[in-house]
Amino acid sequence: MLGQSVDMMNEPLVKHVLENVPRSLFAFNFNPDQGHYTAGALMDAVSGTLAMLGLFYALFRVRSAPYRFLVVWFAVSLVATGLFSRYERVPLTRLQIVLLVMAAFGGLAIHRSLLVLEDATWREKLRPYLGLLAFAGLTPLVFALNVEHFWGYSARYSPTGQQTVAVRAVLEGPCDAGPDTLIVSVDQSPWLVGIFSVYDLGDRTPRTMTYDEVDPSEIAAAPCAVLMQTEQPKAQVVVEDLKREYPEKRMEEITDLSGSQRVLVFR
C-alpha cells in the first residue's frame, strides 16, 4: 500500500510518511479536507477532547496491561490506515478503523472524570447518579454536534463526491447518456462499474478505464469522455496531451455546487 502510494504521488518515501503523520494524528480534531460526503474533523469537539484526554491518560498508565493494549491498538491501526495511506489528504474512510479505539479513549476519560467527581461530591446521595447525569448531558450534546456536522457543515463544504459529479456528467450533463461514453480515472473503475450497473443503461453503459490503460487517441475517438481525478500526476499528463494533440476538441469542467469536486468532459 505504501509503495503504491509513493508511486502515485511521485514523491520520496520518507517525505510521504512524514506528511501523513500530522494528517493522521490530528484528523480527529482538525481536518481541512473533504470527501466521501463528509468534511472536517472525524470527531466532534466534545468527543475529540475526551478521546485525547483518554489517550494521554492511557499513555501515562502504559505500564498497565489494559492501558498498554489500548495504546498498541491505537498505534497499529493509525500506522496501518494513516501513515500507510496512499492519498495526499486525510484518509477519511480508512481512519474510521481508529475511531473504535478513540471512542474507548473517550469512555476512559469519562470514567476517570466520574471517579474524581465521586470523591469530590460532598453529598452521598448524589454519587450513584453521576453516571446517569453524565449520560443524560453528553448524549444529546454529542448527537446534536454530529447532526449539525453531517447535515450542516459537510453539506456546505462537501455536498457530493467526485463519482456523483461523473454520473451527472454522463447521464444529465454534456454526455447525456450517449453511447460509447468513456470514463477515465486513476483507480475508480471498479466503483464506477457497480454504480452504473444500477441505472440499467444497456448498450449505453459507459466504458470505464484507467489512465494507465487508455491512450489519448482512444479518449479523442470517444464521442464523450469524462476525465476524473485530474489533479493526479498521471491524469495531468493525459490532459495536457489531449489539449496539445486535439485543439479542435472541447474541454469542459463540471463541478458540484460547492466547487470542490470536479471532472473534465472532453468531446
**5 pLDDT more than 70:** no
Distance CA 103, CA 115 (A): 19
Which of 157, 191, 223 is where one domain is finished?
157
Interval 132-160: pLDDT, tens? 888 889 999 999 998 888 888 777 776 67
Reading the block at residue 183, the C-alpha cell is 470514463
Structurally, how many domains does the chain consist of? Answer: 2
**11 pLDDT more than 80:** no
Angle, CA of 27, 28 and 30, to the nearest 5°: 55
Q: What is the CATH number of the domain that holds 255?
A: 3.40.190
Distance CA 227, CA 239 (A): 8
User: Is there a single domain that holds both residue 113 and residue 191?
Assistant: no
User: Is there a single domain that holds both residue 19 and residue 146?
Assistant: yes
- The angle that helices 130-148 and 96-120 make with each other, rounded to 10 degrees, is 150
User: Is there a single domain that holds both residue 171 and residue 236?
Assistant: yes
User: Is there a single domain that holds both residue 54 and residue 170?
Assistant: no
User: Is there a single domain that holds both residue 42 and residue 131?
Assistant: yes
Average pLDDT over residues 99-119: 89
Reading the block at residue 52, the C-alpha cell is 485525547
Distance CA 212, CA 235 (A): 9
User: Is there a single domain that holds both residue 91 and residue 179?
Assistant: no
Identify the sign of the CA torsion 23, 25, 27, 32: negative
Write the DSSP assignment of 48-104 as a string of letters: HHHHHHHHHHHHHTTTSHHHHHHHHHHHHHHIIIIIT--SSS--TTTTHHHHHHHHH
Distance CA 261, CA 254 (A): 8
Residue 33 to residues 10, 26, 169: CA-CA distances in angstroms? 21, 12, 24
Identify the sign of the CA torsion 108, 111, 113, 115: negative
Per-residue pLDDT at 94: 74
Per-residue pLDDT at 104: 94
Amino acid at 165: V
User: Is there a single domain that holds both residue 173 and residue 140?
Assistant: no
User: Is there a single domain that holds both residue 175 and residue 221?
Assistant: yes
Contact 43/29 with Cβ under 8 angstroms? yes
Interval 205-248: pLDDT, tens? 888 888 888 888 888 888 899 998 888 888 899 999 998 899 88
Per-residue pLDDT at 180: 81
Which of 107, 127, 157 is where one domain is finished?
157
SS3 251: strand
Domain with 196, as residue range(s), is 162-266
pTM of the model: 0.60
Amino acid at 124: E
User: Is there a single domain that holds both residue 89 and residue 169?
Assistant: no
**6 pLDDT more than 60:** no
User: Is there a single domain that holds both residue 97 and residue 170?
Assistant: no
Reading the block at residue 179, the C-alpha cell is 453511447
Which segments of the chain are extended strands (E)? 34-35, 38-39, 182-185, 207-210, 225-227, 251-255, 262-266
User: Is there a single domain that holds both residue 114 and residue 13?
Assistant: yes
User: Is there a single domain that holds both residue 240 and residue 148?
Assistant: no
Which of 100, 134, 157 is where one domain is finished?
157
Distance CA 252, CA 249 (A): 10
